[in-house]
Every structure is written in C-alpha cells, then in structure tokens.
Amino acid sequence: MGFKAGSTIIGKADPAMGLPILTREEIFFMLNIIRKSTFTGEEMEEIYNLTLKLQKMYLDLEKFKNK
C-alpha cells in the first residue's frame, strides 16, 4: 500500500499552504545574528547556504517593498 507523488519538488515551499513567511526585519535580524557569530569549519557550508537563502529572501522582499 503506497502512493505516488509525481509533482513533488523537494526543498521548495508552497506559498498556498499557509506556511509562515519571514518579514524583512526578521530576515535582517537573522543575517545580523549570523554576522556576529563564530562558526566551526564543519558548519561553514551550511551557514553559507543559509545566508545565501536569507539574502535572496531579503532582496526579494525589498523588490516588493519598492513596487
């Protein structure tokens, strides 16, 4: 007994599902926490990828704010 999920995209959130979205201020707060923190070598790749995602979210929100 099972099911198929042919159109599932891993790593993407569906905005229609009502998932919480961070505000511009929350993203900026998180980026500042990352900036002020010290990380070990094994954490660097994950922190780098997370920072890129947060920066993209921040820039996307800036675009909508300026419209």
The structure tokens listed for 16 are 């229609």
Mean confidence (pLDDT) of the chain: 80
Taking the domains of the chain in order of start, what are their residue ranges?
A: 19-65
The structure tokens listed for 59 are 């820039």
Per-residue pLDDT of 3-34, as tens digits, reads: 566 565 555 655 666 667 888 899 999 999 99
Residue closest to 33 by CA, chosen among 25, 21, 23: 25
Cβ contacts of residue 61 below 8 Å, gap of 6+?
23, 24, 27
The CA distance from 15 to 34, in Å, is 26
Q: What is the pLDDT of residue 21?
A: 80
